[in-house]
Structure 1
């Protein structure tokens, strides 16, 4: 119970990776704010799973792309428990587009993706930072992607937004130290409902098997795989780490050109 009595906010935690992170934090003893935008039914189900771990938890509806919502989500934690110790910026969005088709994305597509993936994370950090500093020790974990390091992924706009999130991780790790640590986790493929809903079960299985056949560790990632890395940065033995980007992709990135920066 290494996070016993801590308070964690996980954005976009109704389903998928966010839900897995919320549950894993609860297993470590943290109280959890479960954030969702539209998926209220799923959020309530995740809430019950978190509470089944023996910790207190609450729901906070809100769109991280809206600053007022970010401040309200943070205040929800403070009003309930009087503190914020961990922020996991998991909420994200994308637009699928062929990287070679420069007409496939509009400026509005870029704005919508950046609003959630970059500005939303920044706004959540801004809303939580004063409360973390008051406690004296906080941890921010940005859920990024290997797309932000390798330039692959669902679209150029998505990859660029995750690259921006990685750079912001470095900037804020410097400026918020020593009270607050800021790190990023960069997953590769994650086997969630998001993939099967998008591509259908047959295509999802094809992608999953391809990951098992091509990654050095011969594995297709699961939400639980990534959640363990997030919880590590939340406080399990990572007190001496800030400004790091951890690629959690079964070694997928090793198939790309040598990476001089992460």
Structure 2
């Protein structure tokens, strides 16, 4: 008989959470630790990551926090090296770092070359670099899951977010390419959240978008945990190249 709940655990696995700031990243890091993973959580704010890791350890989990600029290749290499030194091979990558949207009232053509280049570097090139670093470990271990975070702007134009949305759309296809290339032992999937906050409170700038959702409210960061656990765990070993939408029905309802 299948032990259903055991299939959702990550005992003995190491999870690297890149972009562990307040919101989805920190919620997922806490969740992975609760289901048995050794967690390495990173962001540019080292103090914040150290505090998050400390709280996870106080709750009985295993975690370290690492200061890392995900847009710098040398920082990524140092991050992976430190994670391996602490916990050994990495089995799960949860990639949540990004160059985000412009102010919602900006003009499309106000997007600078520098912003577009930064968005490409962090939103697409960085997760590709990480995959190149981590897939050999995952293949050797016979288990790997890569999870990349998208945005609704990758599926439907939300002005003026051309750099953010276009590069996240590129990340979606990049993830599908990875899925084809790294199977069967390693899987690559996406999660697409909608307007989400650490506390679930709707910010005025997003009220119009949220009102068009099938579930007409802002999402709470913890509501992404289910998809993150599913895709990281053995419960989804026949799922790859897919995207789970956790956006309150936005893609199908927004104009």
* TM-score above 0.5: yes
Contact 1:26 1:55 in 2 (8 A): yes
Distance 1:244 1:112, change over 3 A: same
Contact 1:11 1:89 in 2 (8 A): yes
**1:4 matches 2:3:** no
**CA distance, structure 1, for counterparts of residue 175 and residue 80 of structure 2:** 19
**1:140 matches 2:146:** yes
Greater shift, 214-223 or 179-188, is seen at 214-223
Aligned residues: 248
**CA distance, structure 2, for counterparts of residue 115 and residue 173 of structure 1:** 21
**CA distance, structure 2, for counterparts of residue 102 and residue 220 of structure 1:** 25
Specify every segment of 5 or more residues in structure 2 that has no aligned partner in the other structure, as ranges.
1-5
Greater shift, 85-94 or 102-111, is seen at 102-111
**CA distance, structure 2, for counterparts of residue 11 and residue 35 of structure 1:** 5
**1:54 matches 2:60:** yes
Specify every segment of 5 or more residues in structure 1 that has no aligned partner in the other structure, as ranges.
197-202, 258-262
| SS of corresponding position for 1:165 | helix
State the Cα deviation string for residues 167-218 of structure 1 (Å, max 9, x = none).
Answer: 001000000111210000011110237x98xxxxxx815735962x432123
Give the TM-score normalised by the residue count of structure 2: 0.89
1:71 maps to what in 2? 77
Give the TM-score normalised by the residue count of structure 1: 0.87
What root-mean-square deviation, in Å, do the aligned CA atoms of Structure 1 and Structure 2 show?
2.3
Greater shift, 230-239 or 25-34, is seen at 230-239
1:13 maps to what in 2? 20
| SS of corresponding position for 2:114 | helix
**CA distance, structure 1, for counterparts of residue 130 and residue 39 of structure 2:** 15
1:207 maps to what in 2? 206
Aligned counterpart for 1:22 among listed residues 10, 15, 29: 29
1:254 maps to what in 2? 252
Distance 1:167 1:99, change over 3 A: farther
**1:94 matches 2:100:** yes
Distance 1:154 1:40, change over 3 A: farther
**1:41 matches 2:40:** no
**1:220 matches 2:218:** yes
| SS of corresponding position for 1:237 | helix
Shift of 1:45: 2.0
**CA distance, structure 2, for counterparts of residue 207 and residue 36 of structure 1:** 25
